[in-house]
Amino acid sequence: MKTKKTPVVRFDESMKPMIESLLETIGGDGHTIWKTSILKSFPEAIQKRFIRTIESDGSYKGSIWNDGKMVEKIEGIYGLNLLGAICQDLGLDYEGKIGRGFQAQAYTDSINNWLKN
């Protein structure tokens, strides 16, 4: 039996004010796992698209830290993925970078240029 796929809800021009507000909070940050409430002003389908349970791998760089303590896993929204998805959904050009922080800044710059238009 075939199951019907739910269409993906994407960021679009109508969300410009909300995207601008979101960028003021998370722009340029490629490391943080944000609380799910960061997307509370967006449609529920957008929120669900990005909420994940993210697990630590035990290494210093691959582990999740909360208040200075390593945690096994956490539910949240990974900022780098969110910024990249905004760029992709809006069809924005951005430069590929090495490093999460540099890539997040490239995404942020591209989104900021779109916001100015």
Is residue 2 one of the residues assigned to a domain? no
- Position 72, amino acid: E
CB 101 within 8 A of CB 30: yes
Mean pLDDT of 21-37: 94
- Contact in structure between 25 and 14 (CB atoms under 8 Å): no
Domain-located, residue 41: yes
Q: Which helix (H) or strand (E) holds 68?
A: none
| Helices 16-26 and 100-116, packing angle to 10 deg | 150
Domain contains 1: no
Query: Is the pLDDT confidence value at 2 over 70?
Result: no
Q: What is the pLDDT of residues 54-107, one digit of tens each?
A: 999 989 888 888 888 999 999 999 999 999 999 999 999 999 999 999 999 999
Domain with 78, as residue range(s), is: 14-116
> How many domains does one find in the chain?
1
CB 61 within 8 A of CB 79: no
Question: Of 106, 57, 60, 56, nearest to 80 (Cα)?
Answer: 106
**For 35-62, what is the mean pLDDT?**
93
- 8 is a domain residue: no
